[in-house]
Amino acid sequence: MAFWDQLKSKAAELNTQLATKTSQFKNKEFANGAMAMCALIAAADGSIDAAERDKTAGLIKSNQSLSHFPPAELQEKFEWYCSKLAGDFEFGKVEATATIGKLRSKPDQARAVIQIGIIIGGADGTFDDHEKAAVRGACHAVGIDPAEFEL
C-alpha cells in the first residue's frame, strides 16, 4: 500500500506544479503535445478501447493543469490522435511522438507534457510497463533523460 500512497502523493505534487507552469504555456504546440501524450497513454498497450478513451477524456477535462485550454479543442485533438493510433498503431505512435518532439526546444513545456503523461498513466492506480514505455519514448523525443522521472 505504501507504493500506491507514494504514487498518489507524487501525482498530486506533479499536478500542483503543472497547474502553475501550464498557465505560461498557453500555446497550440503545448496543447497538441499534451493531447498526443494522453492518446499515447490511452493506447499504450497497442490498442485503445472506448472505455479507455472515455476515461482519459474525462481525466483531461478534470485536470487543472489543462484548464487553460478550451475543453472542446482538447477533446477534438485527443480524439484525432486516438483515431490515428486506432487506425494504424505504429504510424499513429510515430505521429504522436513527433508532435511531442516539437517541444524539444522548449524544455519546460516538454517536461510538463511528460508530467501529464505520468499523471494520466497513474490516474487509475497503476502506472504499467506499457505506459512507462510510452512516457520513456516521449522523453527521448524531447531529449530528456527518462531517469529524471525515475523511468
Q: What is the mean pLDDT of residues 123-148?
A: 90
- For the record, the C-alpha cell of 90 comes out as 505504429
Up-side HSE of residue 1: CA atoms within 13 Å toward CB?
0
pLDDT of residue 22: 54
Architecture, CATH, for domain 14-149: Orthogonal Bundle (1.10)
Of the pLDDT bands very low, low, confident and very high (cuts 50, 70, 90), residue 121 is: confident
How confident is the model over 75-108, as pLDDT tens digits?
Answer: 999 999 999 999 999 999 999 999 999 999 999 8
- For the chain, count helices (H), then strands (E): 7, 0
User: Does residue 150 have a pLDDT over 70?
Assistant: yes
Q: How far apart are CA 109 and CA 27, in angstroms?
A: 10
How confident is the model over 8-63, as pLDDT tens digits?
Answer: 565 566 555 655 555 566 778 999 999 999 999 999 888 887 877 888 888 788 77
